[in-house]
Structure 1
Amino acid sequence: MPEMEDVAKVAEDSSEMVSRLINSKAYVNADTKAKVHKAMEQLNDHPNGMEQGLFNGRSKMIALFVPDIINPFFPELARGVEDFTNQQGYTFLLCNTDNNPAKEEAYMHALKQKSVDGMIVVSSTISEEHVKESNIPIIALDRILNANLSSITVKNRKGARTAVQHLKSLGCHRIAHICGPENASNTLDRLGGFLDEVKEEPWFLSSYVQAGGYNYSMAVQVTKELLVNHPEIDGIFAANDLMGAGVLRAAQELGFHVPEDLAVVAFDGIRLSETTSPTLTTMVQPIYEIGRRAAEILIHHINNPHDAIQAEEFKVELVQRESTQVKR
């Protein structure tokens, strides 16, 4: 890839003008644009992001914001995004935000300076103000940020209802829920589906719902507290697989046998659910496909900035494994 100073020298123009053209910082007339393009062809016969940016003002870069790269769900999601963007000739940037609004804001500011073409955001905390200030296409993934952004999610509420119905079908009579962080839209939808199925039951107590923050260690702790305070609980719906694994660990440490004493259903369908002991029954969402679809819609918006927003929901499917079985 030629250096900017070399391009300027061959084009008989200033480095500042070349920089303006590449980064689309100001209007550059057609003659100058043609000279710089010709200079780049002379210096480098192979097309690259700099050369392509001469005409469309783009960096050919997109970014994916995830809240917790340690959670196995997000690398699986990122793979779908990365594969599609690479196929389309884009560079892919992964930003781990730790659910920290200040960190999200810093990333957005830095990426704007680099003229990133668009962002796919898994977040519950980015403000609408920062979204507007970015002035580039943004897609909300996994969680809905606001009604003014295109989004890719799954049928969280319906999936949660299916999970609880499955526990009921096994003969569970006291079902609890370990939910995610309160500011995440998918937390509210999965909690809503759980409540749809249990709120009218005479046995239901509000203390049967505990927050696990989509975190393994937190889920272990709150599940222990839940089962100590309510040993009558015979079924738990965990709002993601990572917390489902935490529920299994807590049950084991307390001497509960799964599924004989306690049936467990989770949500996501990450590979971890196939390797726990016992293996985890879960509501499987098409993780790779929703990542890929988010990238596809983002690139469409980059190329068609005035098109209407899109909101798509994918189906989820119950996959039964060893953590549930029919009670006799």
Structure 2
Amino acid sequence: MTSIKDVARIAGVSVATVSRVLNDKGYVGQRTREKVEKAIKETSYKPNEVARSLFKKQSNTIGLIVPDIMNPFFTELARAVEDMAIKLGYNVILCNSDGNGDKEQAYLDVLKQKYVNGIIVSSNTLTAQQVEELNIPVVSIDREISKGLPTIVVENKKGAMMATRYLQSKGCRNIGHIRGSYGVVNAEERYEGYKEVVANEPWFRESYVVNGNFDMQSSIEATAELLRLHPEIDGIFAANDIMAIGAIKVAHQLGKKVPEELAVIGFDGIKLSTVMTPELTTIVQPIYKLGEISAEMLISLMEQQPIENTYCKLDVELIERNST
């Protein structure tokens, strides 16, 4: 394997001169630079990126922390972030936090040690103080951490209201809600949207709302309990698609026909919602666009480029399929 010493020997210069050319730091005469570049090309020399990171105390790398990579929403989001980052000349380190604050902090510490240039994070535990202590650009995605921090989210409450009203328009008279994790901003906003539509209905009571914890297995358990308590429920709005899929599974286990006896609508618009049977009606987030914008915004901040708007709230749309 070619080393920097080999390049220096072939070019007839010192190792320090080769290093200055590679890092574009310090003066190097044009003729000398050309000799070094020719030697690099002849030897197909590739710099040690770890060593360069240690020397420069930065790398062409960004971190991405998500709470659950098993959720296809975050898988699709990560793909969009990676595509845009690579297009702009950066690599991505993906970290799965499980929504655990201690694990999240451990990842932040590791990313700092790797001299990442910036971090995109979807978190319900990260604080403004933790962000400030990082001393590198941070962009929050999918949920807001603090005012003033660059953030990309969607119209969660509006989407929830659209979903609930849509179920009413399909003739549903008793609509349950499988909510996301307590304390998570987007879960609360989707619950608020549902509640705003149904709160004054004569049939509504708080027991029509169960916690699916944004997880399929939790949703299966919660839906079974919900339909046991309230067999009259004929419509369910689940706060994400994988919980909606869990609800449909329970309906089949209980012998309830979807959508004839129970209509189900989700939220996210993951690709999986189009390949299941029945295909899932859902509130679609522009997942890929969320990832693209977050990567572009972060890299602009890292490169100290002007940004017109550091808070983006993207719209959602309802896509009708066979589950309703």
**TM-score interval w.r.t. the shorter chain?**
0.7 to 0.9
Distance 1:40 1:166, change over 3 A: farther
Contact preservation (8 Å) 2:4, 2:45? no
C-alpha deviations, 1:196-244, integer Å up to 9, x for none? 1011111110011111011000000000000011111111000000000
1:208 maps to what in 2?
Answer: 208
After the TM superposition, which residues 113-152 of structure 1 pair with which residues of structure 2 at under 5 Å, given as runs? 113-152=113-152
Distance 1:266 1:206, change over 3 A: same
Contact preservation (8 Å) 2:127, 2:146? no
1:294 maps to what in 2?
Answer: 294
Shift, 1:194, TM fit: 0.4
CA distance in structure 2 between the partners assigned to 1:208 and 1:13 by the alignment: 71
Secondary structure of the residue that 2:123 maps to in structure 1?
coil
CA distance in structure 2 between the partners assigned to 1:67 and 1:3 by the alignment: 40
Shift, 1:173, TM fit: 1.0
1:169 maps to what in 2?
Answer: 169
CA distance in structure 1 between the partners assigned to 2:45 and 2:161 by the alignment: 51
Shift, 1:117, TM fit: 0.4
Structure 2 residues without counterparts, runs of 5 or longer: none
After the TM superposition, which residues 257-296 of structure 1 pair with which residues of structure 2 at under 5 Å, given as runs? 257-296=257-296
Shift, 1:148, TM fit: 2.4
Secondary structure of the residue that 2:260 maps to in structure 1?
coil
Shift, 1:129, TM fit: 2.2
Shift, 1:75, TM fit: 1.3
Secondary structure of the residue that 1:111 maps to in structure 2?
helix
Identify which range, 170-179 or 54-63, moves more after superposition: 54-63
CA distance in structure 2 between the partners assigned to 1:258 and 1:194 by the alignment: 21
- Does 1:69 find its partner at 2:65? no
Distance 1:31 1:129, change over 3 A: same
CA distance in structure 2 between the partners assigned to 1:276 and 1:93 by the alignment: 31
Contact preservation (8 Å) 2:7, 2:45? no
Distance 1:103 1:38, change over 3 A: farther
CA distance in structure 2 between the partners assigned to 1:132 and 1:5 by the alignment: 41
Distance 1:159 1:214, change over 3 A: same
Secondary structure of the residue that 1:44 maps to in structure 2?
helix
2:198 maps to what in 1?
Answer: 198
Contact preservation (8 Å) 2:5, 2:15? no
Identify which range, 177-186 or 53-62, moves more after superposition: 53-62
Distance 1:6 1:185, change over 3 A: farther
Distance 1:254 1:62, change over 3 A: same
Contact preservation (8 Å) 1:124, 1:184? yes
- Does 1:185 find its partner at 2:188? no
Contact preservation (8 Å) 1:65, 1:95? yes
Distance 1:43 1:114, change over 3 A: farther
Shift, 1:127, TM fit: 2.4
Contact preservation (8 Å) 2:279, 2:323? yes
Shift, 1:183, TM fit: 2.1
1:26 maps to what in 2?
Answer: none
2:255 maps to what in 1?
Answer: 255
Contact preservation (8 Å) 1:118, 1:298? yes
Distance 1:54 1:101, change over 3 A: closer
Residue identity opposite 1:44 in structure 2: I
1:44 maps to what in 2?
Answer: 40
Shift, 1:58, TM fit: 3.7
Contact preservation (8 Å) 1:212, 1:243? yes
Shift, 1:6, TM fit: 7.4
Contact preservation (8 Å) 1:2, 1:44? no
Distance 1:315 1:187, change over 3 A: same
Secondary structure of the residue that 2:318 maps to in structure 1?
strand
Shift, 1:13, TM fit: 7.5
C-alpha deviations, 1:227-280, integer Å up to 9, x for none? 011111111000000000000011111111111111111000101111222111
Secondary structure of the residue that 2:282 maps to in structure 1?
strand
C-alpha deviations, 1:150-188, integer Å up to 9, x for none? 111111110110000100001111111001111211101
CA distance in structure 1 between the partners assigned to 2:66 and 2:113 by the alignment: 20
RMSD: 3.3
2:88 maps to what in 1?
Answer: 88
Shift, 1:53, TM fit: 7.1
Distance 1:102 1:262, change over 3 A: same
Identify which range, 309-318 or 61-70, moves more after superposition: 309-318
2:303 maps to what in 1?
Answer: 303
CA distance in structure 2 between the partners assigned to 1:11 and 1:215 by the alignment: 60
